[in-house]
A and B are shown apart, each in its own frame.
Chain A
Amino acid sequence: DVKVTQSSRYLVKRTGEKVFLECVQDMDHENMFWYRQDPGLGLRLIYFSYDVKMKEKGDIPEGYSVSREKKERFSLILESASTNQTSMYLCASRPQDWVRGDTQYFGPGTRLTVL
């Protein structure tokens, strides 16, 4: 059973703080993704990674950076948190040979509040 875990379910930070959101998957998947989910806006892709040390910008990368030093771990970094980054953050992973129809596996999400 694929497991994607995220370091925190709930997080409260102050404006200007540096925030790290961690995601770990245990199935040796090459691809990993970070999304944010806001009511009425659905999921928006922030960054994704095809493999270790590789990263690509998604639709809304501004204010975020990522790190993928090990295959199983994909970190999302908010360099200087702002109130408009209050959101639910979802991590997902996917095998490289996803064309089998297998698709993304999601973590439980981190609800981040920036005060």
Chain B
Amino acid sequence: GEDVEQSLFLSVREGDSSVINCTYTDSSSTYLYWYKQEPGAGLQLLTYIFSNMDMKQDQRLTVLLNKKDKHLSLRIADTQTGDSAIYFCAASGGSYIPTFGRGTSLIVHP
């Protein structure tokens, strides 16, 4: 089945850009998602990208997809302390049930 990998921690300074990376294994993955989980809360969809796109931008968020390498990244420009959260990458393809990565804890230092 699908396997989604992401690093567990990322630490950045306020105002810098954050880049969270994710790799997936199923080349038939059609939809790729980024979710944000704030402390004590459920997951909230941040953005998604279809596999026929290679970039999507939404305000401070930029998603890059390298389909050949099965690599997805989320860039947060001008990172703020309010961006501190766990970010989950998810991929869904043939089974249509999303597979989630383990989550990357983003820590933003003032």
Interface residues of A (CB under 8 A from B): 4, 40-43, 45, 48, 58, 90, 92, 98, 101, 103-109
Contacts and interface: CB of A to CB of B under 8 A. Distances in A.
Interface of B: 8, 31, 33, 35, 40-45, 48, 50, 88, 96-98, 100-103
A42 B88 contact: yes
B32 to A, nearest CB: 11
Contact of B45 (A48, A90, A103, A109): A103
B102 A109 contact: no
A41 B101 CA distance: 8
A98 B31 CA distance: 11
Given A42-B101, A105-B45, A109-B41, 8 more contacts: A41-B102, A42-B88, A43-B43, A43-B88, A58-B97, A98-B96, A106-B35, A108-B40
A1 B33 CA distance: 20
Contact of B41 (A41, A58, A108): A108
B97 A45 contact: yes
